[in-house]
Amino acid sequence: MPSIYPLARTCNGYAQYIPRSIVRPRQLSYPSRPMSTPEQARIDPVDEEPEPVTKEELMPLYRQMLAIRRLEEASAKAYSQGKIGGFLHLVIGQEAVCVGAIATIGQDDYVVATYREHGHAYAKGIPARPILAELFGKKTGLVKGLGGSMHLFDKETNFLGGHGIVGGHVPIGAGAAFKAKYRGEKRVTLCFFGEGASTIGGFSEGVALTALWKLPMVLICENNLYSMGTPLYRSLAVEDVSMRALSHGMARDRFDGDDVIKVKRRIAVAVERARETNEPTLVEVRTYRFRGHSMSDPGLYRTKDEVAEWKRRDPIRHSRQRLVEDCGVGEEELKELENEVKAEIADAVRFAEDSPPADEYFPYVIKE
Amino acid sequence: MPIISMREALNQAMNEEMERDPDVFLMGEEVGYYNGAYKVSQGLLQTFSERRVIDAPIAEMGFAGIGVGAAMVGLRPIIEFMTFNFSLVAIDQIVNNAAKIYQMSAGQFCVPIVFRGPGGPAVQVAAQHSQSLESFYANVPGLKVVMPATAYDSKGLLKTAIRDDNPVVFIESETLYGVTSEVPEEEYLIPMGKGDIKREGQHVTLVAWSKMVHTCLDAAGELATMDIEAEVVDPRSLRPLDNEIITDSVRKTGRCVIVEVGWPHCGFGAEIAFQVQRDCLDHLDAPVERVTSDDVPMPYALNLENEVQPQVKDVVAAVKRVLYLE
């Protein structure tokens, strides 16, 4: 019986493990920029022609992004009212990455994410009601008030968390992918993390084993340019996180994440590769959070101009514009959808507020 | 009844459970082609192939985490640490993930995983390779901690651990792999949280687990020559802990000595001592005694290494103290 986990490889064919075909011709910041400088934290212009798109494809993605934005805004408001406690990490500004990426997979596929995961959870199919109720610490919350903002889990949609230790969830994603390969299932795992995770051991070991054992996982680095308050150039010697794939002979890709359609198309290539060949991919998507690291962070380490420039590239505004200009969607139809989203989130907030408080914590320590 | 070593007993347990359940797999450094650094996985690769006996590179955090992820979605991994000292570079996966995901997910995802391997001091492998980490792990809700002392207990408990739906930290003693005992050919399971009286006696209760059970049995033999009958109680698992078997014994003897190879400060014996004084105060005829290793990182030189660890003479002396014989 041929082994699916070869114990030793011959080294002479090292280069063949680098699927060069997927390395896009797009200019990368390394090695054309030899040294890290503050200059590298600047915004790269959107320099590619947008992918053609139809209303049928873009409309649901726009709706999801908008719902996530509204959900996050509602969370921020509730936090400032003292209704949500602890840490609250908002994904505002980065919505196109989780929505575009998760649009490429099905319910059976796995998603594992960080503590900035409300958007990923919603995109995976978890309704706003249990998400908000969880943030409010209520009994009706997704995990009954036991996890809060950072630990959303959902078995039904195969959402594997919600993890608070940076990089510690990358091996967990690899484990889910391992199981898919072990059982011969055609399931793919998407593992999201920030560029800040790329310096920690869990990431390195997770990537190394994923590559070694050819696990069907797509590693998606949401590079929002700051690990908390530390900019790229002060945390990474090589700012191109996707380059980490090269030392493992792993496929990679790298692009800007403002355009949800672009995210979807590019991630789809990696998902297809994982599903059909078990070949993992490390994808770096450049994005930006409009707010601080968490609610307690005013984000004073960034200039107003920088934030304003990224807000100009707001993925939601970008999609709306394309719906109008490229898909011929009328203002009225968009308003209708936007009102619908507003109502959905308002309903979820009411649900969270009216729900009874969390009331038990013993039953889930040890499974009997 | 066949007499086999603890090494063989553990091997049989894994073999039988892998035979029984196709979702069980073994992953760790040198578990396959090398047959295990301590030969506990001898022959498993030949039986179950590379698909289920997986040699991992030196990346404990990585493969422990892969085990946690695989367990969340339905597999039953056995993760072998070459020694438990190396579990410290994977402790994030054990403590932050394996122990917490069942609770954080409100019972949606359980983590049926066994982390196993040798722990405690071996012989002259110095400070970084001679640590008893059970007190660390036993402190964490969500984990189970098992420390068998005999071949019989090892097999029955490992089989139970593999079938358990929770993460189990299963610490074997490197020095006990060759210790033999009778192990039946027919299948048996030993529940966690159920201790065992390794020797009966009326005058004093000795509580010990893993390697120290044997030290206590030796001490009990020596005490018997002085007409002191010591009862040796082996809880076998520290979490859950069989409090009843300990307190029943102490109520009978009125005296208690807890012997562990770990460090004294915050060692697991302190927890047992607390429980004994809480539950047996009216029965105690002397303060509870503890015998532990000295409060130092383990030295290399053999004479120093022995001096650091509890010896038979230390146990005998502690027993004499609680009997007011000195």
Helix (H, G, I), strand (E, B) or coil at B187: coil
A112 touches chain B (CB under 8 A): yes
CB B196, CB B206: distance < 8 Å? no
Task: Give how far Cα A60 sits from Cα of A74, A122, A169, A257, A329, Å.
Answer: 21, 13, 29, 17, 13
| DSSP 8-state class, residue B170 | E
Of all residues in chain B, the one with the smallest CA distance to A140 is B106
Of all residues in chain A, the one with the smallest CA distance to B99 is A365
Residue boundaries of the structural domains of chain B: 3-182, 196-322
| Confidence category of residue A51, pLDDT binned at 50, 70, 90 | confident
Q: Do B65 and A205 touch (CB under 8 A)?
A: yes
- Find the CB nearest B106 among A144, A173, A201: A144
Distance in angstroms (rounded) separating the CA atoms of residues B108 and A151: 12
Q: What are the tens digits of pLDDT across the range A313-352?
A: 999 999 999 999 999 999 999 999 999 999 999 999 999 9
Q: Which chain B residues are within 8 Å of A205, Cβ to Cβ?
A: 59-63, 65
In the block, residue with structure tokens 């609770």:
B103
How far does A110 lie from chain B, in Å, by closest CA? 9
Helix (H, G, I), strand (E, B) or coil at B226: coil
| Confidence category of residue A48, pLDDT binned at 50, 70, 90 | low
Q: Compare B319 and A34 and report the one with higher pLDDT.
A: B319
Q: What is the mean pLDDT of residues B16-41?
A: 98
Task: Give how far Cα B271 sits from Cα of B207, B260, B278, B288, Å.
Answer: 12, 12, 11, 12
B21 touches chain A (CB under 8 A): no
Q: What is the mean pLDDT of residues B175-180?
A: 97
Distance in angstroms (rounded) separating the CA atoms of residues A266 and B313: 70
What does pLDDT average to over chain A?
A: 88
Write phi, then psi, for A277 (nearest 5 degrees). -125, 0
Q: What is the mean pLDDT of residues B149-153?
A: 98
pLDDT > 90? residue B326: no
Distance in angstroms (rounded) separating the CA atoms of residues B259 and B262: 9
Q: Which chain B residues are within 8 Å of A214, Cβ to Cβ?
A: none
Helix or strand (DSSP H, E) at B168: strand B168-173
CB B151, CB B8: distance < 8 Å? yes
Q: Do A205 and B59 touch (CB under 8 A)?
A: yes
CB A225, CB A41: distance < 8 Å? yes
Token duo for residue A151 = 């630990």
pLDDT > 60? residue A18: no
How far does B130 lie from chain A, in Å, by closest CA? 24
Residue from B80, B72, B23, B89 nearest B54 by CA:
B80
Residue from B272, B299, B54 nearest B147 by CA:
B272
How many residues can be counted in chain B? Answer: 326
In the chain, the amino acid numbered A195 is E
The count of other CB atoms within 10 Å of the CB of residue B290 is 18
Query: Strand B168-173 and strand B144-146: pairing?
Result: parallel
| Confidence category of residue A19, pLDDT binned at 50, 70, 90 | very low
The alpha carbon dihedral of B152, B155, B158, B164 has a sign of negative
Per cent of chain B over pLDDT 90 is 100
pLDDT > 90? residue A158: yes
How far does B287 lie from chain A, in Å, by closest CA? 34
Residue from A144, A67, A182, A49 nearest A362 by CA:
A144
Fold of B3-182: Rossmann fold (3.40.50)
B91 touches chain A (CB under 8 A): no
Using a 10 angstrom Cβ sphere, with 0-12 exposed, 13-18 middle and 19 or more buried, the burial of residue B252 is middle
Per cent of chain A over pLDDT 70 is 87
266-285 of B, contacting A, C-beta below 8 A: none
B203 is catalytic: no
Task: Give how far Cα B55 sits from Cα of A24, A206, B36, B50, B71, Å.
Answer: 34, 15, 9, 8, 18
Q: What is the pLDDT of residue A47?
A: 54
pLDDT > 90? residue A15: no
Helix or strand (DSSP H, E) at A321: helix A315-325
Helices and strands (H, E) in chain B, number of each type: 12, 14
Q: What are the tens digits of pLDDT across the range B259-314?
A: 999 999 999 999 999 999 999 999 999 999 999 999 999 999 999 999 999 999 99
| CATH class, range B196-322 | alpha beta
Q: What is the pLDDT of residue A24?
A: 35
Q: What is the pLDDT of residue A36?
A: 35
A361 touches chain B (CB under 8 A): yes
Write phi, then psi, for B150 (nearest 5 degrees). -130, 165
B67 touches chain A (CB under 8 A): yes
Distance in angstroms (rounded) separating the CA atoms of residues A93 and A43: 14
| Confidence category of residue A13, pLDDT binned at 50, 70, 90 | very low
Distance in angstroms (rounded) separating the CA atoms of residues A198 and A208: 12
| Confidence category of residue A65, pLDDT binned at 50, 70, 90 | very high
| Confidence category of residue A233, pLDDT binned at 50, 70, 90 | confident
Q: What is the mean pLDDT of residues A284-311?
A: 92
Q: What is the mean pLDDT of residues A113-119?
A: 97
Q: What is the pLDDT of residue B38?
A: 96
- Find the CB nearest A172 among B60, B68, B144: B68
Per cent of chain A over pLDDT 90 is 82
Q: Are B3-182 and B196-322 the same fold in CATH?
A: yes
Using a 10 angstrom Cβ sphere, with 0-12 exposed, 13-18 middle and 19 or more buried, the burial of residue B164 is buried
Q: What is the pLDDT of residue B214?
A: 98
Q: Do A146 and B106 touch (CB under 8 A)?
A: yes
List the catalytic residue out of B8, B17, B29, B60: B60
B61 touches chain A (CB under 8 A): yes
Q: Which of A30-44, A98-112, B129-143, B176-190 has the lowest mean pLDDT?
A: A30-44
Q: Which chain B residues are within 8 Å of A144, Cβ to Cβ?
A: 106
Which domains, from first to last, does chain A contain?
A: 51-352 (3.40.50.970)
Q: What are the tens digits of pLDDT across the range B104-123?
A: 999 999 999 999 999 999 99
Q: Which of A1-15, B77-91, B185-199 has the lowest mean pLDDT?
A: A1-15
pLDDT > 50? residue B169: yes
Q: Which chain A residues are within 8 Å of B89, Cβ to Cβ?
A: 201
Q: Compare A33 and B236 and report the one with higher pLDDT.
A: B236
Task: Give how far Cα A54 sits from Cα of A89, A100, A258, A324, B238, Å.
Answer: 32, 15, 17, 11, 61
| Confidence category of residue A31, pLDDT binned at 50, 70, 90 | very low
CB B74, CB B113: distance < 8 Å? no
Q: What is the mean pLDDT of residues A227-251?
A: 91
pLDDT > 70? residue A2: no
B36 touches chain A (CB under 8 A): no
